[in-house]
Structure 1
Amino acid sequence: MAAKKILMLVGDYVEDYEVMVPFQALQMVGHTIHAVCPDKKAGEQVRTAVHDFEGDQTYSEKPGHNFTLNATFAEVKADTYDALVIPGGRAPEYIRLNQKVLEITRHFAEANKPIAAICHGLQILAAADVLVGKSCTAYPACAPDVRRAGGTYVEIPANEAIVDGNLVTAPAWPAHPRWLAEFLKLLGTKIEHLEMAAVS
Structure 2
Amino acid sequence: MAAKKILMLVGDYVEDYEVMVPFQALQMVGHCVHAVCPDKTAGQSVRTAIHDFEGEQTYSEKPGHHFALNFDFAEVQAEHYDALLIPGGRAPEYLRLNPRVLELVQAFAKDAKPIAAVCHGAQLLAAAGVLEGRECSAYPACAPEVRLAGGRYMDIAVDHAHVQGNLVTAPAWPAHPAWLAAFLGLLGTRISL
Write the distance in 2 (CA, Å) between the matches of 1:19 and 1:13: 10
Report the AA paired with residue 66 of structure 1: H
Write the distance in 1 (CA, Å) between the matches of 2:98 and 2:185: 30
- Percent identity at matched positions? 74
Q: Which residue of structure 2 aligns with residue 49 of structure 1?
A: 49
| 1:2-17 correspondence to structure 2 within 5 Å | 2-17=2-17
SS in structure 2 at match of 1:62: strand
Q: Which residue of structure 2 aligns with residue 165 of structure 1?
A: 165
**Contiguous gaps of at least 5 residues in structure 2:** none
1:143-177 per-position Cα deviation (integer Å, ceiling 9, x unaligned) = 00000000000100000000000000000000000
| 1:77 to partner: Cα distance | 0.7
Runs of 4+ in 1 over 6 A off after TM superposition: none
Q: Which residue of structure 2 aligns with residue 69 of structure 1?
A: 69
| RMSD of aligned alpha carbons | 0.4
- What is the TM-score when the length of structure 1 is the normalising length? 0.96
Write the distance in 1 (CA, Å) between the matches of 2:100 and 2:126: 15
Report the AA paired with residue 10 of structure 1: V
Q: Which residue of structure 2 aligns with residue 93 of structure 1?
A: 93
SS in structure 1 at match of 2:192: coil
SS in structure 2 at match of 1:141: helix
| 1:88 to partner: Cα distance | 0.1
SS in structure 2 at match of 1:97: coil
1:70-92 per-position Cα deviation (integer Å, ceiling 9, x unaligned) = 00001101110000000000000
1:90-137 per-position Cα deviation (integer Å, ceiling 9, x unaligned) = 000001100000000000000000000000000000000000111110
SS in structure 1 at match of 2:20: helix
Write the distance in 1 (CA, Å) between the matches of 2:154 and 2:16: 24
Q: Which residue of structure 1 aligns with residue 59 of structure 2?
A: 59
Report the AA paired with residue 8 of structure 2: M
SS in structure 2 at match of 1:35: strand
SS in structure 1 at match of 2:34: strand
| 1:1-200 correspondence to structure 2 within 5 Å | 1-193=1-193
SS in structure 1 at match of 2:57: coil
- What is the TM-score when the length of structure 2 is the normalising length? 1.00
